[in-house]
Chain A
Amino acid sequence: MWKWIQRQSSPKIFYQTCANLTPWFFWPFIGFLVIGLYWSLIVSPADYQQGDGYRIIFIHVPSAILSMMVYAVMAIAGGIGLIWQIKMAEVVAKVSAPIGAAFTIIALVTGAVWGKPMWGAWWVWDARLTSELILLFLYLAYMSLNNAFDNPRTAAKSSSILALVGLVNLPIIHYSVKWWNTLHQGYSVGTGGLKDPDMQIALALMFVASIFLYALLVAIKAKTEVLIREQNSRWVQEEVTGAVS
């Protein structure tokens, strides 16, 4: 296993691994998504106060968790790239950023859509919402910093430092509802807030689907990124021309 991980630091082998893993991420994603949506929209009962409006949590909560998980992956991969100078870790960090930013935007938008009818406001500046917005800005800053350099190694170095600095925001987002009075409700997951087992199953299925979606997108985007970085090497030229002819 350790040998296998070490071999992934070679661009060619990593490219091949991504290509091999893509269907292993794609089909479980589709499966979990279909069953998860069925469980969320049809099997789960309506809420006693919000009616069907609460069902947005099946998108909102997995996206919000993923927005933080992807950031953690991005920062850790960036840190590994910094310390051990592994180029493929830099690739994983770089391609994770736009995916994480998308999850953050989904979490913010679905929250706003839910907040308007339920709270009476699209947006409030409480600690949870503000720290999640800062997370989006961190992703955007990471992406623009990474694109500001011509040399991918220098770009990875400076943007990884930014990602590591931004790690401090993750516990703030997670504990914001506990440390301070916020309009955002407290934890529903892990505290028995979801009183119905079908609601728990639906949320779990959608969460697993989101993880597979993230893995799938990383595998696809990493392939492209490796090809761009290694465009002068012979195996890439063979790979690309072979695919064309």
Chain B
Amino acid sequence: MTRRQNRMLLVALLLFGVFSAGYLGIKAFNENLLYFYTPTDVANGKAPIGKSFRVGGLVEKDSVQRRDMMVSFVVTDNNKSIEVNYEGILPDLFREGQGVVTSGSLTSKCVKNWFGKGCKYIFLATDVLAKHDENYMPPEVAAALEATAGKE
């Protein structure tokens, strides 16, 4: 083997080693690299209850209610959903049907009614970030897409 081939082999081994280490590292830290949990994760008990964490999803249509600075809305991933309460200023892109990432913690809210006492989890948010999707379009295109979506 010439010296050049030797060096080529060393570089190839270096790359192989680094990429396998990277692959294993990513596999090991996969959970920690999630920026937020989906409402389905929360319902399945994957989210760290009792600690502060982030929940992300779409703001459900017609779910936003405001009272002074208090906002309440439902975050859904079209499978499960969770009610979020937040007090503060919302970002510009926050609107119904859009993505959102909120950080805070879970508490249970119990309501007494005619049928007895029912408890459900609500998410008390300390921070709300709007998540933009990958679509950019002029208003006319957005209106046209909306119109075709309505017909289906």
**Contacts from A to B (Cβ < 8 Å):** 45-50, 54, 57, 79, 82-84, 117-121, 124-127, 161, 164-165, 167-168, 172, 179-183, 185-188, 191, 193-196, 199
Q: Least Cβ distance of B5 to chain A in Å?
A: 9
Listed by A's residue number, 8 A-B pairs whose Cβ atoms lie within 8 Å are A46-B138, A124-B129, A165-B18, A181-B38, A183-B56, A183-B101, A186-B133, A188-B134
**Contacts from B to A (Cβ < 8 Å):** 4, 7-8, 11, 14-15, 18-19, 21-22, 26, 30, 33-38, 56, 90-94, 98, 101, 127-143, 145
In the complex, chain B residues whose CB is within 8 Å of the CB of A49: 93, 98, 132, 142
A127-B35 contact, Cβ under 8 Å, with A120-B129, A195-B137:
yes
Whether the Cβ atoms of B136 and A195 lie closer than 8 Å is yes
A181-B93 contact, Cβ under 8 Å, with A165-B14, A172-B26, A195-B137:
no
User: A204 vs B113: C-alpha distance in the bound complex, in angstroms?
Assistant: 60
Whether the Cβ atoms of B93 and A54 lie closer than 8 Å is no
Whether the Cβ atoms of A124 and B93 lie closer than 8 Å is no
In the complex, chain A residues whose CB is within 8 Å of the CB of B101: 183
User: A121 vs B35: C-alpha distance in the bound complex, in angstroms?
Assistant: 14
User: A187 vs B72: C-alpha distance in the bound complex, in angstroms?
Assistant: 31
Whether the Cβ atoms of A195 and B135 lie closer than 8 Å is yes
Secondary structure dominating the interface of A: loop
Whether the Cβ atoms of B36 and A181 lie closer than 8 Å is yes
Chain A, Cβ-Cβ closest to B3: A85
User: A47 vs B142: C-alpha distance in the bound complex, in angstroms?
Assistant: 9
Q: Least Cβ distance of B123 to chain A in Å?
A: 16
- A-B pairs, top 3 by smallest CB distance, nearest first, are A120-B91, A195-B137, A45-B138
User: A198 vs B15: C-alpha distance in the bound complex, in angstroms?
Assistant: 41
In the complex, chain A residues whose CB is within 8 Å of the CB of B92: 117-118, 120
In the complex, chain B residues whose CB is within 8 Å of the CB of A50: 93, 132, 136
In the complex, chain B residues whose CB is within 8 Å of the CB of A199: 136-137
